[in-house]
Amino acid sequence: MTKKLTTNEIGTLWTQNLQAGMSIQVLKYFLETVEDENIKEIIDQAFQVSNDVYEQTQHYLEAGDLPIPVGFTEDDVNLEAPKLFSDALLLQFVENMGKAGLLAYSVSLSSSVTQEVRSFYSNILIDTTKFFNSAVTTSISKGIFTSSPQIEIEKEVEFVKGKKYLSPFHKRSLNAVEMTHLFENIKSNAVGELLCTGFAQTTNSKKVQTFMIKGRDTSQKHIKLFTQQFNESNIHPPMGSSAYVTQSTIAPFTNKLIVFLISVLTSTGQGNYSTASSASLRYDLVLLYQKLAIETGLYAKDGLDLMIKNQWLEEPPQAVNRTKLFDLIKE
């Protein structure tokens, strides 16, 4: 690599190296416990993409003489642990992973300057798109895909005639954009709820268990609030029932990994709420998302505090502290 990496590139490459290292260990366990061969193929695709991201980001960081995250290793996963999640939940997790990857790699591509780095992100976006589409297609073919509601749409184009359209006091029916965000947030919270449930019953730490139970309860609360919005418009979103947690109490992952994983998902949820708030045209929905974003942010802080206390949180690359350098100068 001939060009020095920019600050944006350093930040995204470092972050994605850390997250890809975590994903590799998670997907290794999924490959060991999945029973459906078609779903196993999708998980393997996701594993290959994560492995490529890990190797390439490490290459660029090393070429730039930059610190490599300690991250996660085979010591953070117990491949002999019994099956904890149903195959349907594994597939939903990979689908969510694909969505998050498409967003993250798009942002990274748009903020990169170096030709090699832009080519890398462009190729990873293609590979991520492939396994995401495969996940959705497989889920539909097996009848376990949770689809958004189907509604009758008015045929004529209309323009907003007054502020009543935005009013929280005269609630109109949800529009298609608002339903999209409500439904997607229900789906992501449903996955989060089950992951937290599984991690709560397998961790050996009371504090980590308390953190996971709080995450489960928060997800349940948010699902209920979002579903209520559909019910008030006489729309009932379909919900999947094939995703579940087994009765295993043997931990497949270390506490460090599961707290980090849930923290990453929580940060993604905060971003989803901000996007939904901006896209919604009913003030009550805007206020709901802002309120839940604050609640999610406080939960994310609990995770950060837990990681800091246990010295699990790595510092991203940062600028040289020149004040310290100045202090080294003696009279």
- Using alpha carbons, select from 100, 85, 112 the residue that is nearest to residue 271: 100
Do both 128 and 45 map to the same domain? yes
SS3 for 3? coil
Residues near 8 by Cβ (< 8 Å), separated by ≥ 6?
Answer: 111, 112, 113
Cα 102 to Cα 154, 227, 269, 270: the distances in Å are 32, 26, 15, 17
d(CA 170, CA 165): 8
Query: Could you read off the pLDDT of 3-45 as tens digits, one per residue?
Result: 789 999 999 999 999 999 999 999 999 999 999 999 999 999 9
Query: What CATH code is carried by the domain that includes residue 166?
Result: 1.20.1260.10
Shared-domain flag, residues 175 and 133: no
Q: Judge if 251 and 178 occupy the same domain.
A: yes
- How many domains does the chain contain in total? 2
Shared domain check, 170 and 123: no
Question: Could you tell me the two tokens for 124?
Answer: 């990873």
Structure confidence by residue, pLDDT tens digits, 87-104: 999 999 999 999 999 999
Tokens in use for 46? 């996701």
Residue 245, helix vs strand vs coil? strand
* Residue range of the domain that includes 88: 1-145
At residue 172, the pLDDT reads: 78
Q: Which domain-ending residue is among 116, 145, 174?
A: 145
pLDDT given for residue 310 in this prediction: 96
Q: Is residue 153 part of a domain?
A: no
Residues 59 and 203 reside in one and the same domain = no
Based on the fold, state whether residues 106 and 225 are members of the same structural domain: no
CB atoms < 10 A from the CB of 30, how many?
26
Domain finish residue from 110, 145, 180:
145
Kindly state the greatest CA–CA separation across the chain. 81
Look at residue 330 and tell me if it is in a domain.
no
Q: Is residue 59 a part of any domain in this protein?
A: yes
Question: Is 169 contained in some domain?
Answer: yes
Q: Note the pLDDT of residue 217.
A: 97
Tell me the pTM.
0.90
Same domain, 141 and 166: no
Residue 327 lies in a domain: no
Task: Identify the bridge partners of residue 89 per DSSP, sorted by sequence position.
Answer: none
Helices within the chain (DSSP H only): 7-33, 37-63, 87-110, 115-141, 176-202, 206-232, 255-279, 283-309, 322-327
Q: Are residues 3 and 114 in the same domain?
A: yes
The CA distance from 285 to 232, in Å, is 13
Collect the ranges in the chain with pLDDT lower than 50: none
Contacts of 250 (CB under 8 A, 6+ apart): 78, 81, 82, 202
User: Distance (Å, rounded) from C-alpha 104 to C-alpha 125?
Assistant: 9
Q: Is 325 a domain residue?
A: no
Residue at a domain's end among 145, 174, 197? 145
Residue 22 in contact with residue 71, Cβ under 8 Å?
A: yes
Residues 167 and 119 both lie in one domain: no
Are residue 111 and residue 212 in the same domain, yes or no? no
